[in-house]
A and B are shown apart, each in its own frame.
Chain A
Amino acid sequence: MIELRDFTFTYNGAVKPALQDVNLAIEGGEFVLITGPSGGGKSTLCRCFNGLVPHFYGGTVGGKAEVQGMDILRTPPKELAMKVGMVFQDPENQLVTSDVEREIAFGLENLGFPVNLIARRVEEALDTVNIAGLRFRRHHELSGGEKQKVAIASVLALHPDVLVLDEPTSELDPQSAEEVLRLLERLNDELGITVVLVEHRLDRVVHLVDRIIVMNEGGIRTDGRPREVMKNDGLGPGTPPVIRLMQRLREKGLEFDELPLTVKEARLKLQKALGKVNTTRPADEHAAKDPVMNIDRMWFSYGDRTALRDISMTVNRGEFIAVMGRNASGKTTLVKHFNGLLRPGKGRITLDGVDTSRYSVDELSRWIGYVFQNPNDHLFADTVEEEVAFSLKNRGVAPEEIEKSVERMLQRFKLTEYRKSYPRSLSGGEKQRLALASVLVTGPRIIVLDEPTRGMDFALKQELTGFLTDYCRDGNAVVMVTHDVETVAECADRVVLLSEGRVVVDGSRREALSKALLFSPQVNRLAQALSSYGVADTTLTVDEMLGQIT
């Protein structure tokens, strides 16, 4: 179906090739997962399957690339569009028209299909993706997940043999992501469409795919069936928790025939193999509560829609708080009140006992740092150095003082070598570090982060949470809005769960995440099922679990 031989591609003006000597053959009907660290060449590889590389993004090409026997270099993108459909990361930016039906018809219209055939294909596509109910909706009336389904339908209408998706779920909440992945499984299963999926959330897909390809530094590092890849630890630290647990147990001498990929498989394996369980209920040390911010009976509404209802909560020094909840449950609205970007309609917020309503955003931001989801939104200056100094300069700090602080931050966030670089030319991880440095430079006591791990690969997530836990240890508080249960299980002290603008749960991560149906990490789902064998049902992480199984 797709064949690359010694394929090398260098973007115009780039020093290093984005893809180097890639050899790859994808068979018809396969479900292939491509993963690996950001900047490893995954997106470039995807884009060469449908000719966007090199026809849209110019560059130097070496080697050969064929799709169904057609050389991608010689075939115009028009013909490739009918063979290979492509779905992109951002649901907003791939919808071109303004309603669902027209969107699905767009590609067919471009190819000059007769109107009666378009009508038929639109019907088919709507039914295949199961969005017939949305047909007359306009794009701004759709949720992110629905938009992504429309994008898939609009590509399916062209009857492609291959569907390529570049991180289609990274902008979605977990439930919508799950729905999109289910849809892909069905398309592959029932219609035999070859699916090539780039994805970071491996725990949701490893069991669905036939093959995993790990890319790094422009080349294929690992390529094989999921179980083989896992057996040889091909994913490294990015391996889903349950599989990591089973790998470790096998190292410790527990015998089982093949490596399980899902919670269910692991459960069945462990039920048979589980010997002695040493039930030590994992416990967290409880630091003395030392409140820094207090929110008292706060209400807020946007026009006539009430977004927050009677919220009371406290933020303590040295505490890592995760704010979780469905989309539109009020998470972002809540944290925007912390530094005055929004003001309570009713109720009061105090910082060290002082009412914050007296202070402007500018004044509050000295004590409360705010990191937005997209690090690009933080970049205003011409060099990395100036970017870090920006907040201090705005506040009229003395030059010598600024220089010292900037130096400290550059070192701490490993940015010294880029000090003269243009911030926007940095890689994703470097930008995230710069955004953090530029916010932390003023030494805020609370730092608020809005979905910082969205679309991040595992290594970047680890780096970020590492910085944040260090920051907490210095007696500061971290408040992180997130959907990412696994990250919360690893590092948060407390979880505040919102629903319809109310606090539904406010407690330790163990109370909030264990014994929950939806918001529980993989390892806990396993532990709950094995509780009759003596495993503590409050177990959250791989290490805690390993401590109990001997």
Chain B
Amino acid sequence: MMRELRYRDRDTVIHRLNPVVKLVWGIGLVVLSLLFSHPVYLVALLAVILIMIRLAGIWREWTPVLKLCLWLGVSIIIINALVSYHGDHVLAEAPFTLPVLGQPVITLEAIAYGAVMAVKLTIIISAFTFINLTVHPDDIMSVLLKMKLPYKSVLVTSLSTRFIPCLIDDAQRINDAYRTRGALPSTGNWFSRIKRQAGIIIPLLSSSLDRAIQVAEAMEARAFGTGQNRTYYKNVVLSGFDWLILVCVLLPLVAGILIRVFGYGDYEYFPVLQSIHFEGVPFILLGILLMLLLSVIPLAFIQRRVEFD
């Protein structure tokens, strides 16, 4: 799965967008999903990120992420239902009481709350997957540098992501060697198996350290960290049109904050689920928000036309 989540060049309107635009758009979406707790708003935001993923042609790479989200979502719903005893609609009652917590009950409200949390999580993970799959990692680095983050920290981050696939290969190989030495028998209880599995950690660490030293050496040999003013060969440059799009992708964020300030987009789960009363002003506001969020799509198409002419 890690391999599929690596950036690959593609020729879609989304991939052609300026990296700054995609970063701001994606992070904006994450912020919006945290701002709102109304289920309709959240479902709408989920729909928006799905449309973008589809347009960027990364649906296939995203499906394993969806699977992960489903697993996480189901576990969130179950755990939340088991430990949160708020809410008036009791669906089931335990025949005993726990110290401190009281009598365990499963309520409709707790399940609904868990479900909405799961949707939120799916939006956030999908938004980061979207950024990861549509922005060249080196461009992310350039953007971070443009935001005046220190070069060395940014480089360390990008180096560690670059070596994750190597680390996975190392782990696979060492694990194979370990198995062939009879160290991971198919019998035994799960605890002893986990304990045995830990045996690959030392060889794995040691191979990573070797790698780190070699990388450091190669960097030193090419004058890294000489204290001079470093220049940057490839910079992310914003054209006039990019600035226009950037403003447009900032608008939904502003709109979202205003909507919350005026008291819309909120939702009460406890003690009783609020009725999803959704017409008039909240409906119009959500419409505006979605239009602003999706405005990046027509702009991207227009930009491509302009570039071709």
Contacts and interface: CB of A to CB of B under 8 A. Distances in A.
B214 interface: yes
A188 interface: no
Contact of B178 (A86, A380, A439): A380
Nearest to A94: B218
Interface stretch (B41-49, B203-211, B277-285): B203-211
19 contacts: A77-B223, A85-B221, A90-B214, A96-B155, A96-B224, A97-B158, A105-B234, A109-B232, A110-B226, A111-B228, A155-B222, A339-B180, A361-B180, A365-B180, A377-B207, A378-B181, A390-B183, A391-B183, A394-B181
Contacts of B93: none
A96 B215 contact: yes
Nearest to B158: A98
| Residues of B contacting A: mostly | helix
Contacts of A339: 180
Contacts of A99: 136, 138
A507 interface: no
A119 interface: yes
Interface size of B as a range: 35 or more
Contact of A94 (B138, B215, B228): B215
A458 interface: no
A131 B168 CA distance: 29
Interface stretch (B62-70, B74-82, B94-102, B169-177): B169-177
A111 B223 contact: yes
A422 to B, nearest CB: 11
Interface in B207-241: 207, 210-211, 214-226, 228-235
Given A56-B220, A98-B162, A341-B176, A112 B183 contact: no
A115 interface: yes
Given A92-B166, A118-B233, A154 B222 contact: yes
Contacts of B230: 109-110, 112
B234 to A, nearest CB: 6
B182 A112 contact: no
A394 B192 CA distance: 12
B271 interface: no
Contacts of B202: 380
Contact of B179 (A52, A154, A361, A376): A361
A395 B203 contact: no
B49 to A, nearest CB: 25
A139 B7 CA distance: 12
B162 A391 contact: no
A106 B222 contact: yes
B224 A110 contact: yes
Contacts of A378: 177, 181
Contacts of B224: 96, 106, 110
Interface string A419-449: 0000010000000000000110010000000
B214 A77 contact: no
A86 B216 CA distance: 13
